[in-house]
Structure 1
Amino acid sequence: MIRFAIASLAVLALTTPVCAQDHAAHTAEPDPHAGHVMPAAEAAPGDPASMDRGTVDHGAVDHGAMDHGTMDHSAMDHTSGGEAPPSPGPDMETPPPPQAASGPPRAADAIWGADAMRASRLDLQQTHGDYNLFWFQADRAEMQVRDGADGYLWDLQGFYGGTTHKFWFKSEGEGSFGEAIEDLEIQALYSLAVAPFFDLQAGVRQDLAGPDTTHAVVGIQGLVPYMFEVDAALFLSHRGDLTARLEAELDQRVTQSILIQPRAELNLSAQDVPQLGIGAGIDSFEVGVRLRYEIIREIAPYIGVEQTWRAGRSADFARARGEDPSVTNFVAGIRLWF
């Protein structure tokens, strides 16, 4: 037994240096973090620059001594780049100081001079829309097919001017093929913008077919809610006859190129005007619909149907002339503008 114990101690003594040498060989392997240690001369301990991921000495950090349970992770910046997380509240812009709008309206005149700034303001107005434009539209230029003699009709308008002041011109007329023109009028109007999408108009209207009649005109034209275009006007003739006209139409787009346009027109009179075939009250009422195809925005042929009624004394005047007070027209025409 004694011999066996002595032999075991001899074997243990022989193998112990080999294990120590092997452990030393493992500890002699290169430290993978050794290249990340910044010399003390370049970054002192505690310097914020030394906390960069590329300069942290991971070997010197004692993770076992760190108390992870007491760390406030909600206060840590988890965003990339070290930026603070966005505030959960709404953006709060710094309001302008109270004195920001207390200066004179044309303070630049004191620096650059009134003459220089006057030219600058004029250029600013012109480049932001205060310049004259010319616009022309043939809203309806059509042939009408009906019982009896087929006819034709035109409805033209346009303007020249700026954003608030314009000169408007309008012309309407109709007749039957092979006969004299039944109605022909021309209007020249001054237009003033009085509200967004609305112009107040005033001027003169001249009737060139039938009895020669001149009217003073006052009206309003614009775009009402739901995109209805309206044109309402009062006419006072040189004989003292007062009449009125109200037109409304709506362009309803079906596709990018196809539109449906419902349209209605109401004519009224304050008294009978026998020489014009107009009766007091409702003179006539028109309602129709047109289907339009835009070849390009500016050129669009159309087809449609329109019904016209004469009422009251106006119907009596129409019958006396041998005309039907109720007429259905199938129309085909073109709408264009430039």
Structure 2
Amino acid sequence: MNIFAPPAPLRLVSIMAVSLGIALPAFAQDHDHATPMPAVIEVPVQDTHDHAAMMAAEAAASATPPREPIPVVTADDLAAAFPVIDHRAMQHAPAFNRKVALNRLEAWDADEGAGQAWEGIAWFGTDTDRLWLRSEGERVGGRTESADLEALYGRSISPWWDVVAGVRRDFKPGDGRTWGAFGVQGMAPYRFEVSATAYVGEDGQIAGNVEAEYTFRITNRLILLPLVEVDINAKDDPNYGMGRGVTGVEMGLRLHYEIIRRFAPYVGVAHERALGDTANYRRNAGESARDTRFVAGVRIWF
């Protein structure tokens, strides 16, 4: 029996340490004193670099080449990935723009004959300075009842409002006459489009017009447009059948369907009423002071 051999439990620990690659102190006994002396048992450990190389070799052996190899990056690929920035392309739209719109081009059938009416605008210029052209008129029974044309300079005073000034020419009713025009136009809160213009005539006559319109989108293409327009005169003008104060009110309700954004046929109803002395002038001339009609028309812009 070997008296210097370690006990069985120590042998078991040593075997486990060797299997795990751990160095433990060994017990040695002196012949004279039998005192355990620590010693280091060196256990060979596998080199980690060799292990990583072996794993890489196994992975390379099992890997398969890709079906579509990655192509070599060309100069065209680099140009597409890193284009040269043209700073001019990031500027706003061209400074000079234009728009022509016939907001109402409509017809109706009445007792006194078929009627037609138009109302249109056009502008040319920049975001801040524009030339505005506005025209509206009406024909009944083959006769032109009213027609006018305005040429105005418009200056933007806010993102939503312009001030305008220019001239207006009335071709009908009566003899033609010219007015000076001053006013504002734009979008009021809650998206009401508003136009208010004052006119000064050659003989000192002063008149005014206020118009408000709202765009109510029922669907993406079906649009309802209510409209209210009020005419005002500062003094009586019997030669043209106009009284003092609020001379007339027009209200309309038109339902548009946008086939395309620039072309929208519509149907609707319009009501006109003369007020005050203007109504009396019309009755004396054998005309009605009020009129309600169903209309059909089209709105076009380009």
* TM-score normalised by L of structure 2: 0.72
Q: Is residue 135–residue 160 contact of structure 1 (8 Å, CA) maintained in 2?
A: yes
- Cα distance, 1:36–1:296 mapped onto 2, change above 3 Å: farther
Shift of 1:289: 1.0
CA–CA separation in structure 2 for the residues paired with 1:30 and 1:24: 10
Q: Is residue 274–residue 289 contact of structure 2 (8 Å, CA) maintained in 1?
A: yes
- Which residue number corresponds to residue 119 of structure 2? 155
- Cα distance, 1:130–1:35 mapped onto 2, change above 3 Å: farther
- Which residue number corresponds to residue 87 of structure 1? none
Read off the aligned partner of 1:323 and give its amino acid letter. E
Which one of 2, 5, 16 corresponds to residue 26 of structure 1? 16
What is the aligned length?
239
1:232-311 superposed matches below 5 A? 232-311=196-275
Greater share of residues in strand: 2
Read off the aligned partner of 2:161 and give its amino acid letter. F
Read off the aligned partner of 2:163 and give its amino acid letter. L
CA–CA separation in structure 2 for the residues paired with 1:36 and 1:201: 90
- Which residue number corresponds to residue 144 of structure 2? 181
- Which residue number corresponds to residue 106 of structure 2? 142
Shift of 1:252: 1.0
CA–CA separation in structure 1 for the residues paired with 2:47 and 2:286: 109
Read off the aligned partner of 1:141 and give its amino acid letter. L
Q: Is residue 146–residue 328 contact of structure 1 (8 Å, CA) maintained in 2?
A: no
Q: Is residue 257–residue 295 contact of structure 1 (8 Å, CA) maintained in 2?
A: yes
Shift of 1:28: 2.7
Q: Is residue 248–residue 275 contact of structure 2 (8 Å, CA) maintained in 1?
A: yes
SS of equivalent to 1:195: coil
Shift of 1:128: 3.4
CA–CA separation in structure 1 for the residues paired with 2:288 and 2:277: 13
Shift of 1:243: 0.8
Q: Is residue 112–residue 140 contact of structure 2 (8 Å, CA) maintained in 1?
A: no
* TM-score normalised by L of structure 1: 0.65
Residues 203-212 or 143-152, more deviating: 143-152
Deviations 1:73-118 (A, max 9, x none): xxxxxxxxxxxxxxxxxxxxxxxxxxxxxxxxxxxxxxxxxxxxxx
CA–CA separation in structure 2 for the residues paired with 1:143 and 1:20: 115
Identity of aligned residues (%): 32
- Cα distance, 1:304–1:29 mapped onto 2, change above 3 Å: farther
Deviations 1:235-273 (A, max 9, x none): 111122111100000001111111111100000101111
Shift of 1:127: 3.5
CA–CA separation in structure 1 for the residues paired with 2:161 and 2:21: 82
Question: Aligned-residue CA RMSD in angstroms?
Answer: 2.9
Read off the aligned partner of 1:284 and give its amino acid letter. G
Read off the aligned partner of 1:244 and give its amino acid letter. G
CA–CA separation in structure 1 for the residues paired with 2:257 and 2:265: 6
- Cα distance, 1:37–1:286 mapped onto 2, change above 3 Å: same
Deviations 1:181-234 (A, max 9, x none): 110101111111122211111111111123111111111111110000011111
1:76-225 superposed matches below 5 A? 127-129=91-93, 131-177=95-141, 179-209=142-172, 210-225=174-189
Greater share of residues in helix: 1
Q: Is residue 270–residue 292 contact of structure 2 (8 Å, CA) maintained in 1?
A: yes
- Cα distance, 1:133–1:22 mapped onto 2, change above 3 Å: same
CA–CA separation in structure 2 for the residues paired with 1:248 and 1:31: 93
Structure 2 gap segments, 5+ residues each: 2-6, 23-44, 50-86
Note if 1:230 corresponds to 2:220.
no
Shift of 1:147: 4.1
CA–CA separation in structure 2 for the residues paired with 1:244 and 1:129: 35
CA–CA separation in structure 2 for the residues paired with 1:133 and 1:333: 27
Structure 1 gap segments, 5+ residues each: 1-9, 11-15, 39-122
CA–CA separation in structure 2 for the residues paired with 1:335 and 1:223: 20
Shift of 1:129: 5.0
